[in-house]
Amino acid sequence: MPELPEVEVTRRSFAERIAGARIVSSVLGKPLRWPLGLQPQALQGRLVQGVRRRGKYLLLDLNEGLLLIHLGMSGSLRFVGGDEEPLGPAGVHDHFDLQTTRGLLRLHDPRRFGAVIYVPSETDALARKLLDHLGMEPLGDGFTLPDFKAGLAASRAPIKQLLLSGSVVVGVGNIYASEVLFLSRIHPATPARDIGPRKVKALYESIREVLALAVEQGGTTLRDFSSANGMEGHFQLQAKVYGREGMPCTHCGAPIRLLKQGQRSTYYCARCQKSS
DNA sequence: AACGGACCCTGTCCGC
DNA sequence: TGCGGACAGGGTCCGT
């Protein structure tokens, strides 16, 4: 479910409200992708200093150690402050509660591909395994055209799958991958290294523009995404190809096609999107 | 060593 | 209505 825009929107929706809070208690539900890494009650008394994002991970900085939170396919966070309507008891799909002096942070994740992991520092072995291989941040200054070009030139993988892997640039998931390839008129099966310089530039710009726009729009709500304050996203209203198999291309009218790549659906226009 | 596929889990939707 | 199968926004691991 959550790609970079949804994770960033989630971050912005509670980062300021939780900063400075002290952890009162913490409760686990069913197992997630990885174990928490310490007894939940050991978090009691620590301070939440802020919330950062790296790729699709949220990093909750504590005065001692940090929590890595990943939303997987179906995860979402809610943060409800003390003066708001309380969330009530944890439901069957609520697998992590962090009660703080500023409010309750709750992870809801039916499929449980998500994770909440405590690490003593970002240089911890597990943290490095999860974070070190991640590619460039598409909305940051470090994401440059020359570096992006070099990243594509080093891979023969189909461009759609290279984007999804996050090894060159992070945060482009299944929806936005289809969208940016449509906007830059690149066929999704094109080997990354075969894409010409003009289209590489178009793709680079599309990634920045689409992700930034999606953040502005509050992310994409297909079925159940909402930010930590309960707001739904609206980017789905601007999707040109995702989920539109058989419907006319907004540019040329040809029917949008569906392609399976690595067991994931890719939507594209066979007339507008070419390999060269 | 890069790449493709299997797999983790639950819910929903579609065709029979 | 019930049931089986396909599919869903992600990522790791393992075999080639």
In whole angstroms, give the CA distance from residue A191 to residue A160: 9
Q: How many CB atoms lie within 10 A of CB A38?
A: 14
What's the CA A53/C1' B2 distance, rounded, in angstroms?
Answer: 28
Mean pLDDT of A213-224: 92
Query: Does at least one atom of strand B sit less than 7 Å from the CB of A111?
Result: yes
Please write the tens of the pLDDT for every residue from A164-200.
999 999 999 999 999 999 999 999 999 999 999 999 9
Q: Which tens digits make up the pLDDT trace of A16-65?
A: 999 999 999 999 999 999 999 999 999 999 999 999 999 999 999 999 99
Q: What is the pLDDT of residues A121-143, one digit of tens each?
A: 999 999 999 999 999 999 999 99
Tell me the CA–C1' distance in angstroms for A112 and B4: 24
**How does residue A1 score in pLDDT terms, banded at 50, 70 and 90?**
low
Q: What is the set of domains in chain A, with CATH numbers?
A: 4-131 (3.20.190.10), 145-268 (1.10.8.50)
Which bases of chain B are contacted by protein, using any atom under 7 A from a CB? 2-11
